[in-house]
Amino acid sequence: MKTVNVPMRAEVSSTNQALFDSLHKGLGFVPNLYATLAHSGTALGTYLALQNAKSSLNAKEREVINLVVSQFNDCHYCLAAHTALGKMHGFSDAQIIEIRRGAANFDPKLDALARVVRSAVSNRGRIDATTLERFYAVGYATGHLVDALVIVGDKTITNYLHAATQIPIDFPAAPSL
């Protein structure tokens, strides 16, 4: 298998160099997975636009989705990154493990979200009717479902990119389940 390198700033287009600079300013570094997207002249910008798009879901809800999807897809890179981000958004280690398993019993609304996402990814979008009814019963609307599925797509992109490239993980490893 061909080894995919993580490109350095000098190796990418001027457009991607500007994105690297912005990422470095905001995060303090350019995560390897983002840098890998810069092998394409357009993928990094396209991905960042998708990831940073407005959503009806808040940051904690987005992390629930990211963790459920990354666990389902067995993406060690994204699990590491989103474990760190989950902690930054106030989740405990135990809550992150529970979310990765597809539930969040500590919060009824997040639990319904985790379960609907787990059902969606497990069944290629065909969400169990009871799970979907519970999602709506806790206060979510169809717009929230649409936004959740967009985030599922966003996370699937990076899960698959890591699976295809196996670039080095530059976050602390997530604990095994």
Burial class (CB in 10 A: 0-12, 13-18, 19+), 163: middle
Which pLDDT score is estimated for 1? Answer: 63
Predicted pLDDT of residue 2: 75
Does residue 173 form part of some domain?
no
Range(s) of the domain holding residue 145: 59-165
Residues 35 and 63 in one domain: no
Whether residues 71 and 157 fall in one domain? yes
Q: CATH code at 99?
A: 1.20.1290.10
Q: What is the CA radius of gyration of the chain?
A: 17
CA distance 4 to 31: 15
In terms of domains, do 24 and 63 share one? no
Do residues 162 and 33 make contact, with C-beta atoms less than 8 angstroms apart?
yes
**Residue 54, SS3?**
coil
Domain-embedded: residue 1? no
Q: Does one domain contain both 112 and 139?
A: yes
- Identify whether the C-beta of residue 48 lies closer than 8 Å to the C-beta of residue 131: no
pLDDT, mean of each 10-residue run, the chain (177 residues): 90 98 97 98 98 97 98 98 97 98 98 98 97 98 98 98 97 96
Based on the fold, state whether residues 86 and 34 are members of the same structural domain.
no
pTM listed for this prediction: 0.96
Tell me how many degrees the CA angle 63-69-74 measures, rounded to the nearest 5. Answer: 120
Same domain, 31 and 106: no
